[in-house]
Chains A and B, each alone.
Chain A
């Protein structure tokens, strides 16, 4: 067992704040506590990006050309890596059963948990991406494009990943299975994310075309994925 987790589905504060707000605060607290592993995603992202030049050689022109793609692949993997823990801890200590039985809809619980997770893992990636982009020799316009496309696209990655996390919650070998299940579904996000990032640094396609599709993918995921993830969580009980 890890460190003690602040476990309660009900708000413990005396003024009875909204349960969703309390849940959001709880998620942040857990992630920042020892054993929460909040900062691992961005470190993993850093390592993935810095490994690439070793693999393909320090050719700055080549790196600048494929830089947006490297950053996107690294962000995709870093987001998914952290997500397998999204429901695992709650499934282990029983808070997930409390969420399932509570009056708050499970779909909203999923959405709030995803929002907290996105803020904790994806936001640092988006902040770190321009800095790492500099090491890959990206132009300023490309740096802005990568950050904007990550900002628009990572919510879709988090929410799609939440479906996989819900499907594999409570399984012993969930992490690898989750990646196998979800990575094929993230292909459209990756395509339009890299397209938007590449369009920002010049190209035949205007920036807003792939960018708007990327926003649409995120909005569709926000609207639909919580239902699938909540259904998957309810399906765990026999």
Chain B
């Protein structure tokens, strides 16, 4: 395991894993979408709009999983100061923002026919919106601090402070009496959802998770390459400077 903490070994591992992960997530997505649209039954109350659930629920799970991946990487940054953890953190933020936005948009589209409104300020919706804003803030922080290692530590601290929001999201439906329904999959006494709907949902969740890990791996790889490029261009610039080139180029 420790061997792959070396960025070069990690790149080799990523190059081998990415095609498999990409293929697996494509297969799972095709299977999940097929099950969603052709196998899973319509709800007797909601009609076919219940199919939004198969996108909405997995993206909601992923928005939180992504934050936890980012928080673990943040610990790696702060405790071991490992560049790979920095890259994992940075790569997770836009992915998390995308999944959270997907969750919010699909929830809104589902809410219009079911609740009669695009948006309500209930605890679950508000806390997910706050999660989205935290993701955006983190992306802003990454884009503002120029020095990568310094940006990583700042982002790690903010990520760990923002972790308090995750249990609030998870338990908001239990703590407050909200319009959003409580969890029906993970609960004592088994899921309160019919098996014919649960299986497609789980397949979609697996597909989304595979997709996330595939995209995350690719983004970490890109980040490592980007850092190498940055380093090489700094080295090249300083070599040029020592040759006595008076032309000072602005930083790219």
A residues with a Cβ closer than 8 A to B are: 163, 167-168, 171, 173-174, 177, 180-181, 183-185, 187, 228, 231-232, 235-236, 238
Decide yes or no: A184 and B133 within 8 Å by CB, A228-B161, A231-B78, A238-B149 being known contacts.
yes
Please tell me which one of the listed residues A167, A187, A238 contacts residue B158 in the complex, with CB atoms under 8 A apart. A167
Bound CA–CA A167/B137 (angstroms): 12
User: Would you call A228 and B126 a contact (CB within 8 A)?
Assistant: no
| A184 and B144 contacting across the interface, CB-CB below 8 Å | no
Partner of A181, one of B126, B130, B137, B160: B137
Task: Give the residue among B78, B136, B154 with the most A Cβ atoms within 10 A.
Answer: B154
Pair A228/B137 contact, Cβ less than 8 Å: no
How many residue pairs, one in A and one in B, have C-beta atoms under 8 Å apart? 52
Q: Which residue of A181, A187, A231, A232 has the most chain B CB atoms within 10 A of its CB atom?
A: A181
- Nearest chain A CB to B201's CB is how many angstroms away? 29
Closest chain-A Cβ to B120's Cβ sits at a distance in Å of: 15
Determine if A181 and B158 form an interchain contact, defined as CB atoms under 8 angstroms apart.
yes
Q: How far is the CA of A187 from the CA of B78 in the complex (A)?
A: 26
Complex CA–CA separation, A56 to B156 (angstroms): 41
Say if the beta carbon of B204 comes within 8 Å of chain A: no
Q: When A185-B162, A187-B130, A236-B150 are in contact, do A228 and B145 touch as well, CB less than 8 Å?
A: no
9 contacts between A and B (CB under 8 A): A167-B158, A173-B144, A177-B137, A180-B140, A184-B130, A184-B137, A235-B154, A235-B156, A236-B150
Q: Is the interface of B mostly helix, strand, loop or mixed?
A: helix
Q: Select from chain A the residue with minimum beta-carbon distance to B157.
A: A232
Q: Is the CB of B161 within 8 A of A185?
A: yes
Do the beta carbons of A167 and B140 come within 8 Å of each other? no
- Are B157 and A184 within 8 A (Cβ)? no
Give the shortest distance, in Å, between A186 (CB) and chain B (any CB): 10
Q: How far is the CA of A163 from the CA of B78 in the complex (A)?
A: 16
Asked whether any CB of chain A lies closer than 8 Å to the CB of B147, the reply is yes
B161 partner residues in chain A, CB cutoff 8 A: 163, 185, 228
Residues of A within 8 A of B153 (CB): 232, 235
On chain A, the residues within 8 Å of B147 by CB distance are 238
CB distance from A163 to the nearest CB of B (A): 6
Contacts of B73 in A (CB 8 A): none
